[in-house]
Amino acid sequence: MELTTVWFVLIAVLWVGYFALEGFDFGVGMLLPVLARDDTERRVMINTIGPVWDGNEVWVLVAGGATFAAFPEWYASLFSGFYLPLLLILLALIVRGVAFEYRHQRPEAAWQGWWDRAIIVGSFVPALLWGVAFANLARGVPLDADHEFTGSLLTLLNPFGLLGGVVTLLLFLTHGAMFVALKTDGDIRHRARALAVRLGAVGAVAAVVFLVWAQSLTGTAVSAVVFLAAAVALVLGIDAARRGREGWAFAGTFATIALAVAGLFVAMFPDVMPSTTDAAFSLTTTNAAATPYTLKIMTWVAAVFTPMVIGYQAWSYWVFRKRIAVHHIPTAELAHR
């Protein structure tokens, strides 16, 4: 296998990991005003992702860095053409990260309320815009002979792109509800499980429409199989949630997101950024790649450090695997001493 193909697969794996892991983070953040009935329950929800949310964001940082190093032409065209959506995502992630750190610094309800809103908005914006961005990436965008994006923001806000945003939003909400059901106990656990079933049913309809549409635009026989597996995983996950099997339910939504993202990359290959202006202007794994020497050095570095990072993150999840309930949360007075 050529190194260009190896790095396309590695970058796809990084995005799969990011969406499958950060997806439930976004879902939990967006569901704060829906599932939590008081501040204690909001703290329970935030604590479920507190030990892992920043680690989950490492995946997108590495994906961006790997794209810059392995496919500089792809990076340049992507980040210039998608500049405004990516900037909004970055700002939302910054605000969200600050909110997690500052929310507990003062006991006043107004203070915590503003940071809760920051978490909600900071989770909603990326959940929506990542879907818009990747839908357009799979569909193709207008590129000229110099591989420069010739469209505008409105070009990206096409029906297929907007549907992609709705799908990621619904899937992340479902994924987040599944995670809350898996990681909590008591009333909030039961409310989260019931909500996950309802959200999953709506998300399944939107996801099937999107995946069928994506398959008709750029799909291959392999991507069709992957998309079908994603749909089956979602149905099985919803059924597991309905039966109270939270672990299997979460595994179902995890697999759904992972397979759906993987399917989009499979459908694109060997393109990395298809051109709707002229197929000859498309960026591919060949014409967008760095030099063979650069790819060789990167491969050795990835072979050494990737297992270490994955191992550390897996260990973190294992350490913080237990459920959290309201009685585990200290009173406000103790929390701010």
Query: For the segment 173-188, what is each residue's pLDDT rounded down to a tens digit?
Result: 999 999 999 999 889 9
CA 336, distance to chain mean position in Å, is 33
For the stretch 84-130, pLDDT in tens is: 999 999 999 999 999 998 888 888 888 888 999 999 999 999 999 99
Q: What per-residue confidence (pLDDT) applies to 252?
A: 95
Residue 1 DSSP one-character state:
-
- Per-residue confidence (pLDDT) for residue 333, from 0 to 100: 41
- Encode pLDDT of 210-250 as tens digits: 999 999 888 889 999 999 999 999 999 999 999 989 999 99
pLDDT (tens digit, 9 = 90+) per residue, 272-315? 999 989 888 999 999 999 999 999 999 998 888 888 888 888 88
Element (H, E) at 271: strand 271-273
Q: What is the pLDDT of residue 109?
A: 85
Strands 283-284 and 271-273: antiparallel
Q: What are the extents of the domains in the chain?
A: 3-139+149-335
Question: What local confidence, expressed as pLDDT, does residue 96 receive?
Answer: 93
pLDDT of the residue at 226: 94
With contact defined as beta carbons under 8 Å apart, do 265 and 137 qualify?
A: no
Q: Is the pLDDT of residue 332 over 60?
A: no
CA 20 to chain centre: 6
Beta carbons of 7 and 62 less than 8 angstroms apart: no
DSSP characters over 192-233: HHHHHHHHHHHHHHHHHHHHHHHHHHH--HHHHHHHHHHHHH
- Residue pair 241/249 in contact (Cβ under 8 Å)? The answer is yes
pLDDT at position 119 is: 94
